[in-house]
Structure 1
């Protein structure tokens, strides 16, 4: 089990309680079924394990970039991995190994959150106050909701499991898929409850407040879920964003370059982020993306920004966000989209700044306020409050040193919708958002099939053959083989 900055919170609590043995957080794997989850320290350790899934699940480390940015119009696969090329060309088969890996890892994370929820009320240790018990529940509800939100966006209908499974009987383990609307109902109801149980902050230490679920994080995720569900409820989106903006956490926009310079994590714009310390507690993702001058190696990197993305930045004159997000560098390998010859200048995904030899201390934003501001603009526009929507978009543009929206960019609800979608693309590149945004706006098929990308090896355009069925991933074949109650998505 990784012990990261989250444990600082527990150390502070233990010092306040003056209980020396409270610091002895033995891994739950070392406990027996008879004595586990009897003390405050044991349930806190179980909660740490639930948070740790953000570090141990490869999807949250960097595969979200593959399935969101590479699968969409933002990036090419890069590298030399056939399965990543399949993601790039939207040609993903049920036997694709990453599908089962992510399905399993995310459900494992849900199991850990369910375990905390089941056991926390049974703790009679006096050191676990009722206030802290409620917070633990809120954190576990948030974590479970976050993981189900990930699953439902990737696969649509998924099995909804709200308790730990201890039996091997077929009725217990062969769980059918739950309708997507019911999954979203569970996500949002859990988040509504979590928001009432969680504090705005846990004190003055930003490395704790940004590492843990807070009321602001629950409201922000609820806003995103209400927007992404099959029938969006934009009034509830606004209601939850209003709660985010009234939070005592005082979320606010900071300079864009400071968000991604590698030195200002746990900042005022961050709502929740994955904490990395480097070394044994390091982030391997940056090494896979950063150029040789930064990474210190010479092999071809993954998630190469596309020509279409670079053109989107340049057409807007968006120098600030482009320079913070992308770095061009001449390379000795051949890139089939950026020159097809050695020595070509190739763009690199650059929001992480420190490679660290697969052990970077660069954090990952799970939710930040800039995303929420643009979501607020989206909701206002969908509710026919166009002028208020423009104000929110201009806040983001002003931060990027861009002029206010022109009359042409905000001339109608439909035009402003397209403008906001582009703004989200430039603002949130490499943050695992693009595929979801295109799906929510119902433009996945049209965007991918109108994309013009030329393979310079043969001069032919890439045909992505995007269909509505490809909006969702196939259910992993291994899971279909294990669970006959599952039905495959259309292929």
Structure 2
């Protein structure tokens, strides 16, 4: 099974606010010509559809997991794609095709947001003012642009800031140098503050499939919390402010009583979900589960592209974390050899299992963009950093008690920080969070260089040769070739 040949393009499935029609009935505005595309309220909804459509690109379906979970100590690479193995080996070169693919998809998403932000203010149609809809559309587009830039800055550091549609092929227009990391974060914050300025609502009504699909105040607050935690000059007071805004939101987010329901495939758009992509099957489906699930679920026998690591399994076992382990991982006999688990064909190995249904490349299973469990643990991290240990423990233990784990206690901030980091690992495995967590704590180099993973083919430990330079990906070589104003990240040729 050659993953590199898989190319599935699917349309977004976001219900249309304020009408009985759905976004499924609208074509992305890019299908229209620029001369007649932006005249009506329906055109505005259609151009916004194109922005949301980007959440069903390959990056958001599972490449974000490659560059967070496979790159870290959580999962091994599998399948037959050498570019994915190079990520797991921390040996990523600028010519790795996944870099250019992801870079292009994220900038394509930003380009769609830029068009929305430029064209929607010019539409002269009274219908767009109903329910403050024009302002909401602009807020949603600004949020989405911020979200995509947040991905870029964490993957590559400073990147070109493109904030207007590019209508020229002139190199003076298309060739843009990198902005600083601080400038990119400043733009992300500016976009989110714009989105919150009386534009985004707490909810769009009573339909959860709308409220969990679209940018809301809760989603913007969640992203701001992550931004202030991740930026180089982090501000944990701000993290606390925005995590509290999510937790106390009028939208009424709450932890599900049973963690397993988050990933049973039947309980999406739930009370814990802040935002998620609305995969509904058919042409609006998730192909990712077919890449990961075992033969008994996927119905095929080729080697899967991601395998839980022994280190991750040990972390679950050492914590006595049965509920989250069984929700995240399924052990099964595999009709192939695995260099870390079993050199014998048909040996028992673990499979990534937060997605439960493959359905022949057309799964309805989802990644959460934001959920409350993540935000509560981020609040615990902020409280600990601010010296409020008892409150940090309370937040941490609220996550532990729902999976029947004993409450933890600590009066040492450093120790508590490691406990929170480990809890995030167990809570959020396969949810594209681990690498940012390790980078934020300053422990990525230490963790990867101390990781003992034995390659059964050689009976030798794998050497990851992790360095500070590898905290960022190399700028794609195709982009360097196209834009001579771009400089490469340190450590890459």
Cα deviation, 1:447-475, whole Å, max 9, x if unaligned, reads 00000000001101100000000000000
**Shift, 1:26, TM fit:** 4.6
Aligned to 2:94: 94
What is the aligned length? Answer: 480
- SS for the counterpart of 1:113 is helix
Which whole-Å CA distance do the structure 2 matches of 1:248 and 1:432 have between them? 27
Matches within 5 A, 1:37-186: 37-55=38-56, 57-129=57-129, 131-186=132-187
Contact 2:16 2:45 in 1 (8 A): no
Cα shift readout 1:333-358 (whole Å, capped 9, x = no counterpart): 10110021122110000000100111
Q: Which of 217, 223, 230 is the matching residue for 1:228?
A: 230
Q: Superposed, which structure 2 residues align to 1:441-452 within 5 Å?
A: 441-452=441-452
Q: Is the 8 A contact 1:24 1:41 kept in 2?
A: no
Q: Using the alignment, how far apart are the partners of 2:341 and 2:31 within structure 1?
A: 52
Q: Which runs of 5+ in 1 are unaligned?
A: 16-21
Per-residue CA deviation, residues 239-285 of structure 1 (Å, 9 max, x unaligned), is 11121122111001002100000000000000000111112111000
Look up the SS of the partner of 1:7 in the other structure. coil
Q: Decide whether the 8 Å contact of 1:5 with 1:208 is kept in 2.
A: no
Quick check: 1:26–1:42 contact (8 Å CA) kept in 2?
Answer: no
Are positions 1:247 and 2:249 aligned together?
Answer: yes
> In structure 2, the residue corresponding to 1:121 is in which secondary structure?
helix
Q: Counterpart of 1:19?
A: none
Q: What do residues 188-211 of structure 1 show as CA deviations (whole Å, max 9, x unaligned)?
A: 121122123100000000000000
SS at structure 1 position matched to 2:281: coil
Residue 358, structure 1, aligned to residue 361, structure 2: yes
- Offset of 1:3 from its aligned partner? 4.6
CA distance in 1, matches of 2:250, 2:270: 14
Name stretches of at least 5 consecutive residues in structure 2 with no aligned partner: 1-8
1:378 aligned to 2:386? no
8 A Cα contact 1:354 1:362, kept in partner = yes
Bigger Cα displacement from structure 2, 123-132 vs 97-106: 123-132
Going from structure 1 to structure 2, the CA distance change for 1:380 and 1:457 (only over 3 Å counts) comes to: same
**Contact 1:273-1:363 within 8 A present in 2 as well:** yes
The residue aligned with 1:5 is 13
Q: Is the 8 A contact 1:113 1:143 kept in 2?
A: yes
Query: In structure 2, the residue corresponding to 1:118 is in which secondary structure?
Result: helix
CA distance in 2, matches of 1:379, 1:206: 29
Q: State the distance in 1 between where 2:466 and 2:318 align.
A: 25
Structure 2 distance, partners of 1:118, 1:280, is 30
Q: CA deviation at 1:332?
A: 1.8
**Post-superposition CA distance 1:143-183 (Å, at most 9, x none):** 00000000000000100111111122222111000000111
- Within-5 A mapping of 1:286-297: 286-297=289-300
Contact 1:234–1:379 at 8 Å: present in 2 too?
A: yes
Q: Match of 2:336? A: 333
Residues 52-71 of structure 1 deviation map (CA, whole Å, 9 limit, x = unaligned): 0010x211001111111111
1:24 offset after TM fit, Å?
A: 6.9
- Give 1:270's aligned residue: 273
Contact kept, 8 Å, 2:15 with 2:209, in 1: the verdict is no
Q: Does residue 1:313 correspond to 2:321, yes or no?
A: no
Per the alignment, residue 345 of structure 1 pairs with 348
Deviation at 1:36, TM superposition (A): 1.1
Relative to structure 1, is the Cα distance of residues 241 and 42 closer, same or farther in structure 2, using a 3 angstrom cutoff?
Answer: same
Rounded to whole Å, the distance in 1 between the matches of 2:18 and 2:328 is 35
Offset, 1:7: 3.1
What per-residue deviation string (whole Å, max 9, x for no partner) do you get for residues 352-407 of structure 1?
0100111101122011000000000000000000110000000000011100004x
**DSSP-derived class of the 2:344 partner:** coil
SS at match of 1:11: coil
Instruction: Output the aligned Cα RMSD.
Output: 1.5
